[in-house]
Amino acid sequence: MASMANDINKSDNIAPKEIEFNEYYTEVKEIEKRDSVLTPKQQIERLLRPGSTYFNLNPFEVLQIDPDTPIDEIKKKYRRFSILVHPDKNQDDAERAQQAFEIINKAWKILECDDTRRKCLDVIDEAKGRTDLMIAEKRKKLKKEGKNPVIPEDDPEKYKHAVYVLTMKLFADMERKRRELQIRDQEERKRKREAEIEEEEQRNLEKEWQKNFEESRQNRVNSWQNFQAGSSKSKKDKTTKKLKTFKPPKLKPESR
């Protein structure tokens, strides 16, 4: 199996991350073949292994079943795994067991629903379609170069592996897009909420201003009335003062 992954890497000239993935995939499959019935501890390790976030996006991979497995068999596999990794059965590693248990439950919830299971099957079908297209392009290129159109994916195991790798990538792309939409939605809701808060604060300020304006209206009226009254009194006082201080001119005696 290790040489198989190496052949694929050399012939396809794939990226370092994919090389690492291929090697890890080969190692995992060898372990599965050697010990197909994993212990609870091994199942927890499998579900929480490095890169598990990437692998566990595929519910079929989580429950280790083929995509065409009937729903009744999927349910049996789910129950078996949920018992194996249940925290009550793994009290010496309860925290990690709880994480594994939640992963198992999430995979089952996806597959028990017809709509979400169909979406997962669509992903796998797309992976197969893309793989077949890639194979056809490889053959076409080899024929054009006058070479033998035999490719690694002619081996059923290598073909299955190619579909598996592409399936994982498609699930990862879906998750990335989902998170981007979630972040965008959160930012939009935050922006709307901030706008609502700002509008509410503006309305409160306007209400407060109006309230203060109404409360001070009578004071302004009284002040104006007092001012008017004071002004009239002042004019009257000035007139009275002028009258009081007015002295008629002295009469001069007539001269004969």
Across the range 197-224, mean pLDDT stands at 79
Across the range 62-74, mean pLDDT stands at 93
Split at pLDDT 50, 70, 90, the class of 33 is low
Q: Is the pLDDT of residue 230 over 80?
A: no
* pLDDT digits 0-9 by tens, 143-155: 888 888 888 888 9
Can you give the residue range of the structural domain that contains 8?
A: 2-192
Across the range 165-194, mean pLDDT stands at 88
Q: How many domains does the chain divide into?
A: 1
Whether 205 is in a domain gets the answer no
Whether 130 is in a domain gets the answer yes
> What's the pLDDT score for residue 95?
95
Across the range 239-246, mean pLDDT stands at 56
CB count in 10 Å sphere of residue 171? 22
Whether 223 is in a domain gets the answer no
Split at pLDDT 50, 70, 90, the class of 221 is confident
- CB-based contact 188:182 (threshold 8 Å): no
d(CA 159, CA 177): 27
| CA distance readout (Å), 249 to 241, 252, 256 | 18, 9, 21
Q: Is the pLDDT of residue 247 over 50?
A: yes
Whether 93 is in a domain gets the answer yes
Across the range 219-224, mean pLDDT stands at 72
> What's the pLDDT score for residue 5?
42
| Sign of the alpha-carbon dihedral angle for 49, 81, 39, 169 | negative
Whether 71 is in a domain gets the answer yes
Whether 6 is in a domain gets the answer yes
Give backbone dihedrals phi and psi of 57, rounded to 5 degrees, phi first: -70, -25
The mean pLDDT value of the chain amounts to: 80
Length of the chain: 256
d(CA 99, CA 48): 8
* pLDDT digits 0-9 by tens, 73-119: 999 999 999 999 999 999 999 999 999 999 999 999 999 999 999 99
Split at pLDDT 50, 70, 90, the class of 34 is very low
d(CA 254, CA 212): 74
CB count in 10 Å sphere of residue 99? 16
* Own/partner pairs, 170-178, CB within 8 angstroms, 24+ separation: 170/123, 170/126, 170/127, 171/57, 171/58, 171/123, 172/54, 172/57, 174/57, 174/123, 175/57
Residues 6 or more apart whose CB falls under 8 angstroms from that of 79 comprise none
> What's the pLDDT score for residue 188?
87
Split at pLDDT 50, 70, 90, the class of 1 is very low
> What's the pLDDT score for residue 199?
85
* Residue bearing the bigger pLDDT, 210 or 6: 210
Whether 206 is in a domain gets the answer no
